[in-house]
Amino acid sequence: MLTPRQCRSRQARWGLLIGAAAFLSVAPLNATLALAAGSWTITATGPAVAESAVVPMGQLPTATVLPKSIKLEWAPSTYATGREVAGYVVRRQAVGSKDAVEVCAVASPIRACEDSPPAGQPVTYTVVPAEQLWRGPASAPSSPATLPAPALVVVPAAPSPSPSPSPSPTPSPTVTPSPTPSPTPSATPAPSPS
């Protein structure tokens, strides 16, 4: 155990060493210092403060089904200082599947996007906060949403006219060829004796 006098003496030595080190670090380069010779080692122990930031968790998205797409909106993800993250990545996952597909990436302050998943397939969405190359924890999945299948419009076929009885056409007279006169043989003169 150190006596109060020894503690003051030790504090004075540390103060001298730290002061000399500070003097060395701010002295001009061309100055010659008597204290520069030798080797210096300074070790300090005690409390220290370090500050870091963890990318916050994503906020639960709200999925709104539109006629041809699903619109997603969510609240901002902010650091403890109140600053919003730089952007967001939205992922879609089919209900019952473990695979997720990135459907959009937006920069702050935008906190909405639209997606067109396969019709008739229930899907959920998660929001992942992004800060440069860093990603925060994903939000909880949204409620399942299903894009309706396009409605098939049945157009009735135009009615075809039903056959109605009509009088049979009167036969037109057929033309019979008239015989052409064939040449009649003419009497040939008999040969005369000569």
Distance CA 123, CA 144 (A): 5
Joined together, the tokens standing for residue 31 give 């100055």
Radius of gyration in angstroms for the set of CA atoms belonging to the chain, rounded to a whole number: 51
Least trusted range by pLDDT, from 32-36, 114-118, 129-133? 32-36
SS3 169: coil
The predicted model gives 3-14 an average pLDDT of 56
Note the residue count of the chain.
194
The predicted model gives 133-144 an average pLDDT of 96
Joined together, the tokens standing for residue 44 give 């300090």
pLDDT digits (tens, 9 = 90+) for 156-183: 776 666 666 666 666 566 666 666 655 6
Q: What percent of the chain has pLDDT over 90?
A: 48
Going from the N-terminus, what domains does the chain have, and what CATH number goes with each? 62-146 (2.60.40.10)
Amino acid letter, residue 97: S
